Amino acid sequence: MGLEVTDVSKHYGDVPALNRVSLKVEKGEFFTILGPSGCGKTTLLKIIAGLELCDSGRISIGGEIVTKIPANKRNVNTVFQNYALFPHLSVYENIAFGLRSRKFNRDIIEERVGKALEMLQLTHTSERYPAQLSGGQQQRVALARALVNEPAILLLDEPMSALDARLRSQVQVELRNLQRRLGKTFIMVTHDQDEALTVSDRIAVMNLATIVQIGTPTEIYERPKNKFVANFIGDANMFEATRTGDSGLITEYGTLETSLPIPWQEGAVVIRPENIRLHDSNPGFNTLPLKVRDSIYRGDHQEIWFEENNLKAKTTNHTLYRPGTEVWLEFLKDALVPLNEEE
Amino acid sequence: MKKPGLLLVISSVGILLFLYLPLMAVAFFSVNSSKYGLVWKEFSFKWYVRMIQDPYILNAALNTLILAVISTAVATTLGTALAIGMENFPWGKRLKSFLDSILHLPVITPDIILAAALVVVFMFLRKLMSIFEPGLLTMTIGHITFQIAFVALVVRSRIASIGHNVEAAARDLYANNVYLLWHVTLPLLMPGIIAGAMLAFTLSLDDFVISFFTSGPKSVTLPLLIYASVRRGITPEIHALSTVILLLTVILVFTFERLTRIQNRAKNNPAKGRK
């Protein structure tokens, strides 16, 4: 067992930051906590790190209960947002900090820091100071500074937020590879859904101090549980529906069929824009003719909006869809997802 | 570049003269060998030589230095502790902002009021213990009372520029309180602490009001000596002495400025944690 969070709550004054949050992270897993700002995700990370203590609930790491143990006695290290490197210490001294503060013997410190420098390609920068490093190098120092302590769990608080967009996608892949190579448990907090989908084994989506859904990136993207998840991750067409029979849905687009279980009589369904296929003539099943309102060329795909209902489709067709053209839309049956009732 | 208007030039020069002419006059007469009047005779350092041979002046200089060094050392320690303590203040926002505002009080209180208050306090304390007879001790305590606030304010602004993230990182990396203070907090605050100490030192060096009210017959400092001498008629030695004090203050103020600038540059350091 890597980490177990049970029923953890935290309030700042009257404002709840976490409301009975529970989750389990397996050893060696890359787990991401994803949510908008102010949803409590950073608070949860701080509580796992021991930098804040929860009001109620239980935290256990590797089977040991650590709820009341402060950060400097937990076998967990953090890569902070904006890295929080020590500006008065060199790269070497930054990385050695956690070993020196525990009075490790000099030889061990030298060996382990040397290895960490090498692993993150920082050897040539060891004498420099944080202000003299690029953003990517600073991030690697922050990683090395945490990993050199061989923590049971590595926590990452928005580790990409200070990098520019181009570097970000490259670093995401590197981070993922590093985690695989080390086989260590990584828990990352982010508000960036692309990042979460790219790196994670599993994702916990948070909103308003609670966890809304936990699942693999595929589950989260393809089977969102509610409106919040569907909207927060990726694009979504959402509309009301009434159930008819076992798999029929009466909607404003006519009666559609889904192959997924429908848990209600009246509720909402969601379909991703790429799961609406476009045809010139009626293919015959789960279809609807609509007029094109607007289309946007995106290079590898195009986005098409349809009149009246703001329905959006994505296609890799190279057909030019002019506004006013009538197109047949096909709603893929196994991608039409009935959402759970909103709370 | 546009040529500055005549009016602007005249007014600028006028203001600068207004500010610096008196000081320049003092420096000017300190190297004039004529003892009386405003007549220039010849260039000479003899008043400086005579100044450093005058036992009263030397004694006052020594007193000033002892007073400034001790009060600055104590005030810097206490002021830094106060600033760190207030930053990590755990007892609620209201009490914290209250403390914040009373911290500014010694800065804006007129010296004369503080001095009068100290006289009353020492009068009371004297009844309990004889060490509170007016003298260097009471003066030192007096100086510390107003220095603490200045040190604390300078150090606090430095703390604010560092942010909390670095401290959290140190805790995350197994630092206990002592290790954190010694290896992270104090080194990062050092420019602020030094700047605060220099400010306090300068304030003590040229303080007259508090010193005047708390001094005893044997604890004459340079400002007090100058005051006493001026009442008897200004001598060129006093000019020399004033010039020396002025130069010292200028050097201190310049160093203070520089340190503050270093501090501001650290503020723009991209590696700094921010929340």
| pLDDT class of A282 with cuts at 50, 70, 90 | confident
- Find out whether A306 and A313 touch, Cβ atoms under 8 Å: yes
Please name the member of B168, B187, B269 whose beta carbon is closest to the beta carbon of A80.
B168
Q: Would B273 be classed as within a structural domain?
A: no
- Whether A130 sits inside 8 A of B271 (CB atoms) is yes
Q: In chain A, pLDDT over 90 holds for what percent of residues?
A: 75
The Cα A178–Cα A161 span in angstroms is 19
- Whether A71 sits inside 8 A of B165 (CB atoms) is no
Chain B: nearest CA to A199, how far in angstroms? 24
Distances (CA, A) of A221 to A59, A233, A256, A276, B205: 28, 7, 21, 15, 70
How confident is the model over A62-75, as a mean pLDDT?
A: 92
Beta-sheet strand order (sheet of A337-338): A254-257, A248-251, A237-244, A266-271, A337-338
Chain A: nearest CA to B178, how far in angstroms? 10
| Contacting residues of A for B93, CB less than 8 Å apart | none
Mean pLDDT of the residues in chain A:
92
The pLDDT tens digits of the residues spanning B24-61 come to: 888 888 888 877 667 777 888 888 888 888 888 889 98
Q: Would B165 be classed as within a structural domain?
A: yes
Mutation test of the interface with chain A: which of B94, B158, B166, B174, choosing the one with the most A Cβ atoms within 10 A? Answer: B174
Q: Would B10 be classed as within a structural domain?
A: no
Closest residue, chain A, to B272 (C-alpha): A84
Q: Which pLDDT score is estimated for B264?
A: 58
SS3 at position B262: helix
Q: Which pLDDT score is estimated for B270?
A: 43
Residue B17 DSSP class: H
The Cα A291–Cα A297 span in angstroms is 18
The CATH number for B137's domain is 1.10.3720.10
Q: Is pLDDT at A9 greater than 50 in this prediction? A: yes
**Cβ-based neighbours of B142, under 8 Å, separated by 6 or more:** B114, B115, B118, B210, B211, B213, B214
Chain centroid to Cα A166, Å, comes to 19
- Whether A88 sits inside 8 A of B175 (CB atoms) is no
Q: Is pLDDT at A220 greater than 60 in this prediction? A: yes
Number of domains within chain B: 1
- Find out whether A91 and A130 touch, Cβ atoms under 8 Å: yes
Q: Would B101 be classed as within a structural domain?
A: yes
- Whether A80 sits inside 8 A of B272 (CB atoms) is no
The token duo for A105 is 């013997």
Chain B: nearest CA to A51, how far in angstroms? 7
Chain centroid to Cα B160, Å, comes to 22
Q: Which pLDDT score is estimated for B274?
A: 35
Nearest partner of A157 among A136, A186, A179, judged by Cα: A186
| pLDDT class of A1 with cuts at 50, 70, 90 | low
SS3 at position A298: coil
Closest residue, chain B, to A150 (C-alpha): B173
SS3 at position A307: coil
Any idea which of A181-185, A255-259, A280-284 has the lowest mean pLDDT?
Answer: A280-284
Q: Which pLDDT score is estimated for B268?
A: 47
pTM, 2 dp: 0.82
Q: Would B32 be classed as within a structural domain?
A: no
Q: Please, what are the averages of pLDDT over each run of 10 residues along chain B (275 residues)?
A: 80 92 86 75 84 87 93 96 86 81 85 92 88 88 93 91 89 94 94 91 91 88 88 82 87 81 55 37
Q: Is pLDDT at A130 greater than 70 in this prediction? A: yes
Q: Would B15 be classed as within a structural domain?
A: no
Task: Fill in the amino acid letter for A129.
Answer: Y
Q: Which pLDDT score is estimated for A340?
A: 86
The token duo for A254 is 């006519």
- Residue A182 CB coordination number (10 Å): 14
**Tally of CA atoms within 13 A in the half-sphere of B67 that contains its CB:** 34
The pLDDT tens digits of the residues spanning A92-123 come to: 999 999 999 999 999 999 999 999 999 999 99
SS3 at position A214: strand
SS3 at position B219: coil
B140: containing domain: 45-267
ipTM, 2 dp: 0.85
Q: Would B33 be classed as within a structural domain?
A: no
Q: Helix, strand, coil: what percent of chain A each, to 5?
A: 30, 35, 35
The pLDDT tens digits of the residues spanning B102-136 come to: 888 888 889 899 999 999 999 999 888 888 888 89
| Contacting residues of A for B173, CB less than 8 Å apart | 72, 77, 97-98, 101, 145-146, 149
- Whether B179 sits inside 8 A of A49 (CB atoms) is no
Chain A residues contacting B via beta carbons under 8 Å: 49-51, 70-73, 76-78, 80-88, 97-98, 101-102, 129-131, 133, 135, 138, 145-146, 149
How confident is the model over A16-34, as a mean pLDDT?
A: 95
- Find out whether A78 and B169 touch, Cβ atoms under 8 Å: yes
Q: Which pLDDT score is estimated for B272?
A: 39
Helix (H) or strand (E) holding A279: strand A276-279
- Whether B274 sits inside 8 A of A82 (CB atoms) is yes
CB pairs under 8 A between A and B: 86
Q: Would B31 be classed as within a structural domain?
A: no
